[in-house]
């Protein structure tokens, strides 16, 4: 960008420099503070790659082994850093391979900008080689998308793309750029976007709603907070903590909200949802006031909606007006950025302690500990459990690691047992449940937080969906720790088959390759353990390593994740076995 | 909750792809668009979609929320039939000979407050605006004589209440 600015200064202020569209794209990315991007080249995006070659000292491009990996890496990067993740691909199959990552980022509100090449303007609609209607395909899974067909559109559209991706409720944006627009030259100048007519990213908080919320909180006998990712996206961690402490309210989290409040905080009562903690699920239907903060009442959180917190008044703190009354009726809706609204609420809330109410959570936790947690993290049986592996990682990392999980049993176990002492530490595919997310997301997470340990927890199923991204770890020496919890099954589906399909294990038994040899093929230090005596020392060795490290843990093949709210059941029907 | 007729009014920028975005919101929820009209609105450079759907209030609320969330949408509203003034238009193409041979056709045109738009050697065209049932009735009356072509537009409507788009636009 400096070069552009310098050149601009040296000429008339109205006069700008004439550069190609492809070069303009690089200048836009630099102006938006992009340092790292993930992608895969191809015919229709080659002019941009040619510029990336020239600008490689300013902009790092990581060649993933599949475009899906590029999106998940961009997501991992965005989720740990709070910055916009960037992925780039060519037209046709390159573009369609982005779709899963776009859908994942859309449902989990992750800021991401995807750039795709497109056939030249004159060929649009002719079924040209590698032409696909990525605008049509990506429309339902993007916050915004746009096709650029003229070079001169690039600065304004790119500025708008970044603004839309990161403002308000964040989300993915796709910009499709025809090849002629990359090649043609035009007078370039760049101005960041700060507003778009017709788009209001953050609703203005209404003091009347905040006062009404405070009144409900101050008069509640059994208030209960459930927070989600909105706290992290809104950077409202301190405000949440202050509220919880001042008003003495037990608080639970959705998996997307995990790590916003220290796991060890006495008022952090655990996780809600299908495999969440016993107390928070049961108490959802016992509280007199449910305070939802930056969460969207996903069905995996609510169970059967008709029986969800019907006894309670509901306050919904939310940035997206479309979420209000979407699933659960809000008696008071507080629209706005969570940092701002919670900040305004705090002075209006009375100091309080709800000890007797909080004690019920502790009692329920003890029941859950005795029946489930104890056996998960301190098992007495021979086989290794997923829970004890997570617990050893907690110990070896002093609860400071970024935990990136894939999807399935190991994900639920990781979310249940990983301990967090700082925000943005739980990176997982929440809404979409994308198997294959973790390995590339861990790469992005590590690159977005180089000072932190990043541990990917992956099942043997999901690992093989994006295993090719080991190539990135190898080529770029990304020091991520990869832990595959191998139960030789697609564990969560197998669990459902056991519980609800009379143990008919249709296509859930995995015959796996030698994962250690595969990792070694990529020159990644690799170990396999299957006995408890080796667990602690191996995990300590892994965490002490400064290099990429692969660890396969052979765990019990038919363990189940409990507690569990069966699909379609009420949160009150949470099962301990 | 029972299904009702709702008219959704969407004020938006006039951009390529927005129609796809809006129709996709219905598609994702497996709800049919009964009629759709896109036109300019009372405000310069602002387009207006008028969409009719037969669904529950819960779903129309959800849909309008999702529509309004789209970047290029300024504001979306939904109304029931009794909250709006609404019409559709229809064109009937009929063989010219019938206009003179079948006197009853002229009565049908007069009784229905319809207009003859054009008359040529082979055919003439009748335009009729009104409620859906009025157009249907006229269609039924003309059908025995033979209709060469028939087309009916999507619903257009204005609301009895004010939709303060200019004020909203100033806020952005």
B103 shares its domain with B80: no
Q: Whose CA is closest to A547, among A522, A511, A512?
A: A522
Q: What is the pLDDT of residue A176?
A: 98
Q: Angle at the Cα of A427 (from A361 to A422), degrees rounded to 5?
A: 60
A147 shares its domain with A6: yes
Q: Do B74 and A197 touch (CB under 8 A)?
A: yes
Q: What is the pLDDT of residue B165?
A: 85
CATH number at residue A259: 3.40.50.1220
A32 shares its domain with A178: yes
Q: Which residues of A touch B61 (CB under 8 A)?
A: 325
A251 shares its domain with A340: yes
B24 shares its domain with B60: yes
B10 shares its domain with B78: yes
3 state SS for A427-440: EECCCCCCCCCHHH
Contact A531, A384 (CB under 8 A): yes
Listed in sequence order, the residues at least 6 apart from A215 whose beta carbon sits closer than 8 Å to its beta carbon are none
Task: Output the tens digit of pLDDT for each of chain A's 577 residues.
Answer: 344 444 444 444 445 789 999 999 999 999 999 999 999 999 999 999 999 999 999 999 999 999 999 999 999 999 999 999 999 999 999 999 999 999 999 999 999 999 999 999 999 999 999 999 999 999 999 999 999 999 999 999 999 999 999 999 999 999 999 999 999 999 999 999 999 999 999 999 999 999 999 999 999 999 999 999 999 999 999 999 999 999 999 999 999 999 999 999 999 999 999 999 999 999 999 999 999 999 999 999 999 999 999 999 999 999 999 999 999 999 999 999 999 999 999 999 999 999 999 999 999 999 999 999 999 999 999 999 999 999 999 999 999 999 999 999 999 999 999 999 999 999 999 999 999 999 999 999 999 999 999 999 999 999 999 999 999 999 999 999 999 999 999 999 999 999 999 999 999 999 999 999 999 999 999 999 999 999 999 999 999 999 999 999 999 999 999 999 999 999 999 999 9
Cα separation of A322 and B61, whole Å? Answer: 9
Q: What is the pLDDT of residue A2?
A: 40
Q: Which residues of A touch B71 (CB under 8 A)?
A: 143-144, 164, 196, 198-199
Peptide bond into A563 cis (omega under 30): yes
Mean pLDDT of B68-74: 96
A318 shares its domain with A434: no
Residue A176 lies in a domain: yes
B74 touches A: beta carbon within 8 Å: yes
B146 touches A: beta carbon within 8 Å: no
Q: Could you tell me how far CA A371 lies from the centroid of its own chain?
A: 31
A110 shares its domain with A54: yes
A332 shares its domain with A399: no
- Domain encompassing residue B125: 86-152
Domain termination residue (choose one: A360, A387, A417): A360
A132 shares its domain with A261: no
| Interface with B, mutate which of A322, A323, A335 (most B CBs under 10 A) | A322
Q: Do A197 and B62 touch (CB under 8 A)?
A: no
Residue B99 pLDDT class (50, 70, 90 cuts): confident
B76 shares its domain with B9: yes
- Domain count for chain A: 3
Domain termination residue (choose one: A299, A329, A360): A360
A180 shares its domain with A87: yes
Cα separation of A5 and A243, whole Å? Answer: 46
Catalytic residue among A23, A32, A51, A67: A67
Q: Starting from the edge strand earliest in sequence, which strands make up the sheet with A426-428, in order? A: A426-428, A402-405, A454-459, A481-486, A549-554, A525-529
Q: What is the pLDDT of residue B100?
A: 85
Q: Do A322 and B66 touch (CB under 8 A)?
A: yes
Residue A193 lies in a domain: no
3 state SS for B67-107: HHHCCCEEEEEEEEHHHEEEEEEEEEEEEHHHHHHCHHHHH
B72 shares its domain with B11: yes
B47 shares its domain with B97: no
Residue A574 lies in a domain: no
- Domain count for chain B: 2
A321 closest CB neighbour out of B65, B71, B171: B65
Peptide bond into A427 cis (omega under 30): no
ipTM value, please give it: 0.92
A183 shares its domain with A212: no
User: Sign of the C-alpha dihedral, residues A122, A126, A127, A128?
Assistant: negative
- For B32, which DSSP code? -
B49 shares its domain with B79: yes
Listed in sequence order, the residues at least 6 apart from A533 whose beta carbon sits closer than 8 Å to its beta carbon are none
Nearest residue in A to B65, CA atom: A322
B73 shares its domain with B101: no
Alpha carbon of B39: minimum distance to chain A alpha carbons (Å): 18
- For B122, which DSSP code? S
Residue A456 to residues A10, A73, A78, A535, Cα–Cα distance (Å): 50, 12, 16, 17
B10 shares its domain with B77: yes
Q: What is the pLDDT of residue A10?
A: 42
Residue A568 lies in a domain: no
Helix (H) or strand (E) holding A207: helix A207-219
Alpha carbon of B57: minimum distance to chain A alpha carbons (Å): 12
A268 shares its domain with A410: no
CATH number at residue B12: 3.30.70.260
B62 touches A: beta carbon within 8 Å: yes
Q: Could you tell me how far CA A474 lies from the centroid of its own chain?
A: 24
Task: Identify the bridge partners of residue B37 per DSSP, sorted by sequence position.
Answer: B50
Residue A86 lies in a domain: yes
Q: Do B69 and A136 touch (CB under 8 A)?
A: no
Cα separation of A412 and A433, whole Å? Answer: 11
> How much of chain B exceeds pLDDT 90, in percent?
88
Q: What is the pLDDT of residue A15?
A: 57
Q: What is the pLDDT of residue B163?
A: 85
Residue A569 lies in a domain: no
For the record, the structure tokens of B121 come out as 């050697």
Nearest residue in B to A168, CA atom: B69
Q: Do B17 and A135 touch (CB under 8 A)?
A: yes
Q: Whose CA is closest to A70, among A24, A23, A136, A116?
A: A116
B67 shares its domain with B90: no
CATH number at residue B141: 3.30.70.1150
Kindly give the residue spans of alpha helices, DSSP state H, lying in A432-569.
438-448, 460-463, 470-476, 491-500, 515-521, 535-544
Cα separation of A346 and A28, whole Å? Answer: 40
| Interface with A, mutate which of B22, B71, B166 (most A CBs under 10 A) | B71
B47 touches A: beta carbon within 8 Å: no
| Core vs surface per residue A517-526: b (16+ CB within 10 A) or e | ebbeebebeb
Domain termination residue (choose one: A188, A216, A246): A188
Listed in sequence order, the residues at least 6 apart from A446 whose beta carbon sits closer than 8 Å to its beta carbon are A76, A402, A452, A454, A478, A479, A480
A477 classed as catalytic: no
B24 shares its domain with B92: no
- Domain encompassing residue A53: 2-188
B144 shares its domain with B95: yes
């Amino acid at each position: 960008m400096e070069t552009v600015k310098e050149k601009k200064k040296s000429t008339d202020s109205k006069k700008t420099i004439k550069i190609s569209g492809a070069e303009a794209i690089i200048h836009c990315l630099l102006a938006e503070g992009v340092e790292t991007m993930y992608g895969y080249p191809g015919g229709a995006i080659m002019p941009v790659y040619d510029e990336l070659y020239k600008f490689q000292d300013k902009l790092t491009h990581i060649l993933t082994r599949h475009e899906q990996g590029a999106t998940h890496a961009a997501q991992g990067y965005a989720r740990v850093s709070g910055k916009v993740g960037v992925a780039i691909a060519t037209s046709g199959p390159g573009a369609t391979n982005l779709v899963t990552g776009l859908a994942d980022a859309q449902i989990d509100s992750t800021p991401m900008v995807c750039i795709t090449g497109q056939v030249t303007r004159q060929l649009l609609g002719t079924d040209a080689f590698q032409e696909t209607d990525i605008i049509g395909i990506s429309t339902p899974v993007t916050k915004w998308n746009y096709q650029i067909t003229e070079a001169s559109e690039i600065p304004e559209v790119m500025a708008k793309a970044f603004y839309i991706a990161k403002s308000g409720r964040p989300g993915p944006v796709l910009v499709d750029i025809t090849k002629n627009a990359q090649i043609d030259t035009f007078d370039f100048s760049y101005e960041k976007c700060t507003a778009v007519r017709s788009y209001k990213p953050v609703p203005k908080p209404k003091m009347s709603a905040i006062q009404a919320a405070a009144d409900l909180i101050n008069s509640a006998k059994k208030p209960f907070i459930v927070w989600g990712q909105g706290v992290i996206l809104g950077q409202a961690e301190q405000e949440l903590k202050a509220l919880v402490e001042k008003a003495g309210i037990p608080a639970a989290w959705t998996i997307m909200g995990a790590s916003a409040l220290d796991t060890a905080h006495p008022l952090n009562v655990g996780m809600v949802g299908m495999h969440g903690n016993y107390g928070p699920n049961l108490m959802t239907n016992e509280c007199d006031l449910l305070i939802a903060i930056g969460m969207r009442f996903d069905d995996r959180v609510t169970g059967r909606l008709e029986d969800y917190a019907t006894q309670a008044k509901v306050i919904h703190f939310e940035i997206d007006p479309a979420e209000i009354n979407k699933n659960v009726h809000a008696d008071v809706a507080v629209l706005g950025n969570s940092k701002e609204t919670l900040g305004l609420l705090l002075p209006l809330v009375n100091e309080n302690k709800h000890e007797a109410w909080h004690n019920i959570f502790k009692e329920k936790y003890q029941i859950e500990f005795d029946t489930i947690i104890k056996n998960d993290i301190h098992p007495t049986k021979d086989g290794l459990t997923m829970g004890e592996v997570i617990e050893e990682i907690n110990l070896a990392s002093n609860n400071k690691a970024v935990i990136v999980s894939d999807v399935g049993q190991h994900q639920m176990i990781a979310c249940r047992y990983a301990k967090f002492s700082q925000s943005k530490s739980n990176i997982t595919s929440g809404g979409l449940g994308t198997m294959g997310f973790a390995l590339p997301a861990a790469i992005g997470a590590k690159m977005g937080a180089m000072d932190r340990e990043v541990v990917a927890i992956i099942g043997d199923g999901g690992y093989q969906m994006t295993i090719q991204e080991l190539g990135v770890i190898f080529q770029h020496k990304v020091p991520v720790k990869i832990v595959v919890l191998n139960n030789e099954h697609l564990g969560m589906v197998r669990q459902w088959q056991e519980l609800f399909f009379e143990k008919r294990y249709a296509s859930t038994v995995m015959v796996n390759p030698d994962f250690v040899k595969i990792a070694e093929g990529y020159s990644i230090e690799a170990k396999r353990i299957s006995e408890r005596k080796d667990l602690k020392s191996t995990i300590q060795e892994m965490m002490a390593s400064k290099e990429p490290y692969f660890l396969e843990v052979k765990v019990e093949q038919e363990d189940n994740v409990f507690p569990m709210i069966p699909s379609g059941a009420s949160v009150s029907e949470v099962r301990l076995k | 909750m029972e299904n009702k007729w709702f008219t959704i009014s969407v004020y938006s920028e006039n951009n390529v792809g927005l129609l796809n975005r809006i129709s996709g919101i219905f598609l994702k929820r497996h709800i049919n668009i009964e009629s759709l009209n896109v036109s300019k609105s009372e405000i310069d450079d602002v387009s207006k979609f008028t969409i009719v759907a037969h669904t529950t209030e819960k779903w129309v609320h959800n849909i309008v929320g999702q529509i309004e969330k789209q970047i290029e949408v300024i504001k979306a509203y939904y109304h029931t039939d009794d909250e709006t003034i609404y019409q559709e238009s229809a064109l009937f193409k009929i063989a010219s000979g019938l206009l003179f041979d079948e006197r009853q056709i002229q009565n049908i045109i007069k009784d229905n407050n319809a207009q003859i738009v054009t008359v040529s050697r082979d055919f003439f065209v009748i335009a009729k605006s009104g409620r859906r049932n009025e157009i249907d009735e006229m269609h039924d009356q003309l059908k025995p004589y033979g209709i060469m072509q028939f087309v009916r537009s999507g619903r257009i409507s204005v609301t009895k209440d004010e939709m303060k788009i200019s004020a909203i636009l100033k806020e952005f």
